[in-house]
């Protein structure tokens, strides 16, 4: 099964998972549990109620207690991951196909109408094809609420950069219905994110207030995820191996932010100073598979980052180290 970041999958036991990353084992999909059938759940699809599980530590706890069959130590990524066997998958939800259905659907609900309207706006203004856009999140699996966000996905580097440039222009327009978050709008977002990522509010405001991949469209929260096309991915499962070294906090200067809009995002760094933990060299990059760390820093900016250090071993190349963000609530990256 060919699944990628932003897709969702449903297993025969009724659980729904969101797919993480683009590199997966041959017969499994790396994905984290998101919705589970629960008679007391607040979401309903047909006659079945569902509970949403979002914070990563809660997902791991649920998997350990209720669904340990999905937890696997992955020797390529060097850590315990949630991986779903292909033959456990009942349905594969694909964002592009869903958006196509939404375009031809009659009697749209408000969230569907606003999602389609936002997609139409970005397609027109950025001059991208429909096939490069998709809809993810709860709407993709029919478990949305009246307060759900608009979750769009853009595929392909060139398309992503055009959409990103368009969003930068739109949030600056006085008459635009697309707005970036101000301090007031960031307060509830901080309350939500701080359950999963430790950060001071002022540091949060400094980074989040300048992002454009998140914001408001007609007063509804949106998040746009940028994902590379299959043809742009040269890494195959096992061609690169990752080994956990330890936890560190570093200060570093960002030297290449060209991959900051993508999920996963990468920041090339230099002038690394180890503030806590064991020093490793060369520590070349900061990486995250979580959308919240996109647009976190720009070229030339000094950052302080805390996370897991991994040794990166690629066939035929000299090994190096990277800092991975997002596995623990203590992981963060702020402007120094």
Q: What is the dihedral of CA 96, 20, 147, 97, to 10 degrees?
A: 10
Residue 24, classed as helix, strand or coil, is: coil
Rounded distance, CA 175 to CA 41, Å?
Answer: 40
Number of other residues whose CB lies within 10 A of the CB of residue 227: 26
Each residue's pLDDT tens digit, 170-181: 998 877 899 999
Rounded distance, CA 156 to CA 121, Å?
Answer: 18
Residue 197, classed as helix, strand or coil, is: coil
Cα–chain center distance at 224: 9
Q: Of 141, 146, 98, which is closest to residue 119 (Cα–Cα)?
A: 98
Six token digits for residue 320? 């190096």
Radius of gyration for the chain, computed over Cα atoms and rounded to the nearest angstrom: 20
Each residue's pLDDT tens digit, 48-97: 999 999 888 889 999 999 999 999 999 999 999 999 999 999 999 999 99
C-alpha to C-alpha distances, 314 to 19, 242, 279, 290, 325, nearest whole angstrom: 24, 9, 21, 23, 20
Each residue's pLDDT tens digit, 229-276: 999 999 999 999 999 999 999 999 999 999 999 999 999 999 999 999
Dihedral sign, Cα of residue 203, residue 207, residue 213, residue 218: positive
Q: Model-level pTM greater than 0.75?
A: yes
Which residues lie below 8 Å from residue 322, measured CB to CB, with a gap of 6+?
283, 284, 285, 286, 287, 309, 310, 312
What is the pLDDT confidence band of residue 298, given thresholds at 50, 70 and 90? very high
Dihedral sign, Cα of residue 253, residue 257, residue 261, residue 265: negative
Write down all domains in the chain, each with its CATH number in brackets. 8-92 (no CATH), 95-230 (no CATH), 240-335 (2.40.50)
Number of other residues whose CB lies within 10 A of the CB of residue 90: 12
Rounded distance, CA 241 to CA 219, Å?
Answer: 43
Six token digits for residue 99? 């958006």
Q: Reduced to 3 DSSP states, what percent helix, strand and coil does the chain have, rounded to the nearest 5?
A: 25, 40, 35
User: What is the share, in percent, of the chain residues with pLDDT greater than 90?
Assistant: 92
Rounded distance, CA 48 to CA 71, Å?
Answer: 25
Q: How far apart are the first and last CA of the chain?
A: 42
User: Once rounded to an integer, what is the mean pLDDT over residues 105-122?
Assistant: 97
């Amino acid at each position: 099964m060919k699944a990628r970041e932003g897709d969702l999958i449903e297993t025969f036991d009724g659980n729904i998972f969101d797919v993480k990353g683009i590199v997966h084992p041959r017969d499994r999909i790396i994905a984290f549990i998101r919705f589970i059938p629960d008679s007391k759940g607040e979401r309903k699809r047909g006659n079945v109620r569902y509970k949403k599980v979002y914070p990563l530590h809660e997902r791991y706890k649920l998997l350990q207690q209720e669904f340990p069959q999905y937890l696997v130590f992955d020797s390529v990524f060097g850590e315990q991951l949630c991986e779903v066997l292909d033959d456990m998958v009942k349905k594969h939800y694909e964002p592009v196909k869903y958006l196509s259905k939404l375009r031809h659907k009659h009697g749209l609900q408000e969230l569907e109408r606003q999602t389609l309207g936002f997609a139409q706006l970005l397609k027109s203004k950025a001059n991208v094809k429909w096939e490069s856009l998709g809809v993810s999140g709860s709407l993709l699996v029919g478990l949305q609420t009246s307060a759900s966000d608009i979750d769009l996905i853009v595929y392909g580097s060139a398309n992503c950069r055009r959409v990103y440039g368009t969003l930068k222009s739109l949030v600056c327009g006085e008459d635009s219905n697309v707005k970036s978050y101000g301090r007031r709008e960031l307060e509830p977002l901080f309350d939500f994110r701080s359950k999963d990522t430790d950060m001071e509010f002022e540091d949060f405001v400094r980074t989040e207030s300048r992002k454009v991949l998140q914001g408001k469209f007609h007063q509804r929260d949106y998040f746009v995820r940028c994902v590379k096309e299959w043809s742009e991915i040269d890494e195959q499962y096992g061609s690169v191996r990752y080994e956990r070294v330890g936890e560190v906090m570093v200060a570093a200067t960002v030297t290449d932010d060209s991959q900051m809009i993508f999920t996963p995002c990468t920041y090339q760094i230099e002038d690394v100073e180890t503030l806590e933990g064991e020093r490793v060299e060369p520590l070349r990059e900061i990486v995250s598979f979580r959308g919240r760390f996109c647009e976190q820093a720009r070229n030339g900016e000094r950052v302080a980052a805390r996370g897991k250090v991994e040794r990166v071993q690629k066939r035929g190349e000299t090994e190096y180290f990277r800092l991975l963000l997002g596995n623990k609530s203590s992981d963060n990256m702020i402007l120094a």
